[in-house]
Amino acid sequence: MIPCSFQEFETRVNRVIEEVIPTAFEIDRFEETLLGILHSAKREPFWEEIIRYPFVSGGKRFRPKLCYYSAMMFGVSEPEAYCLGAATEILHTASLIHDDLPEIDNDDYRRGRLATHKRYNQGLAVVCADELFFLAAKTLLPFKNDHLVEEFLSTAMDLAKGEAYDIYYEKTGLSLSEEDLTVMYRFKTGGLIRFAITSPAIVKRIPAESLASLSDSATKIGLAFQIYDDIKDETGRFEELGKTPQKDMKSGKQTILRIKTLQEAKERADLLWQEAIREIGSYSDSSDETPLGRFLNESRELIIRQ
């Protein structure tokens, strides 16, 4: 195979996704929705610049894409799908701003650019993330769906809980079992991915039993995603990750690689990913793959590629 850059590979994968999924995620429409939400509040120019800064360099937009293809599976409209995706991306980005701070992950770069606290300062970075947390929740109010907002707020609280566990375990040097690590991953990473996948189903008010089943499948995707992320941190390069590699193990973070080898970790993630895809396939009335299942199949290499 002829080597290619990460950006070239991403473009190829997205092209394949567009070919196999009739109604594909349109990045321009999503970015228009996202910017519209970011601009919805009146701010002084200096503050508007800081609020927008962490979004300018893009990113994979993996969570908004999960929202979109889940929405196509449950018959949620495209404008609503992009709105749900924007809420998840805003919350995700706010959490990354906090992650990069010296007191947490102490990373100077994010998505190939200076982290918000390095581009401006720590105080402004903290408050920027604070506003984005609230803006993310506000984005969902037009749906007039209490269950949706409650799930989103619970997801945000779980995210904070997972980060707290991560910091505590790193500072105290405690060794975690795989079960304990899985709990932390479900809070820290899995919750927002679970919300991205289940939020369209909540909008459509599907039966509780079906929603619980979908939530379980989405949790597997979240766990697999975090394991792949642990592997990439250990084996990736700055040009691919957009942030400093090989930091987690050196800093004493508790990751799956303290329990399993690289190969064992990858096999565990692959198994979770494929199980989730099979389970999500049950939401199709025919033998055809669901839009979400197709997206997960086609995007997996993009997620794990070094």
Q: What angle do CA 99, 36, 28 make, to 5 degrees?
A: 85
What are the tokens at 286? 């025919």
pLDDT band of 306, cuts 50, 70, 90: very low
Worst-scoring range by mean pLDDT, 66-70, 115-119, 236-240?
Answer: 236-240
The percentage of the chain sitting over the pLDDT mark of 90, rounded to a whole number, equals: 69
pLDDT band of 1, cuts 50, 70, 90: very low
Helix (H), strand (E) at residue 114: strand 113-114
Give me the pLDDT at residue 303, please.
Answer: 82
Of the two residues 136 and 112, the one the predictor is more confident about is: 136
196-224 pLDDT per residue, tens:
999 999 999 999 999 999 999 999 999 99
Distances (CA, A) of 146 to 73, 116, 141, 142, 214: 22, 33, 9, 11, 19
83-109 pLDDT per residue, tens:
999 999 999 999 999 999 999 988 999
259-300 pLDDT per residue, tens:
999 999 999 999 999 999 999 988 866 556 789 999 998 888
Please provide the average confidence, as pLDDT, over all residues in the chain.
88
12-54 pLDDT per residue, tens:
545 544 544 546 899 999 999 999 999 998 999 999 999 999 9
Domain-wise residue ranges, the chain? 6-304
Helices (H), the chain: 6-20, 27-38, 45-56, 62-74, 78-99, 116-119, 122-139, 146-172, 178-185, 191-203, 208-235, 238-241, 248-251, 262-280, 291-304
Q: How far apart are the first and last CA of the chain?
A: 15
User: How large is the average pLDDT for residues 243-271?
Assistant: 83
Among 271, 99, 268, 248, which residue's Cα sits nearest to residue 178?
A: 268
Report whether pLDDT(8) > 70: no
Among 26, 3, 10, which residue's Cα sits nearest to residue 301?
A: 10
222-234 pLDDT per residue, tens:
999 999 999 988 8
- Cβ neighbours for 97, distance < 8 A, ≥ 6 positions apart: 54, 110, 115, 116, 117, 125, 126, 128, 129, 132
Among 174, 169, 222, 172, which residue's Cα sits nearest to residue 194?
A: 222
User: How large is the average pLDDT for residues 158-171?
Assistant: 92
The percentage of the chain sitting over the pLDDT mark of 70, rounded to a whole number, equals: 85
pLDDT band of 244, cuts 50, 70, 90: low
Give me the pLDDT at residue 26, please.
Answer: 93
Query: 6-304 adopts what CATH topology?
Result: Farnesyl Diphosphate Synthase (1.10.600)
pTM more than 0.85 = yes
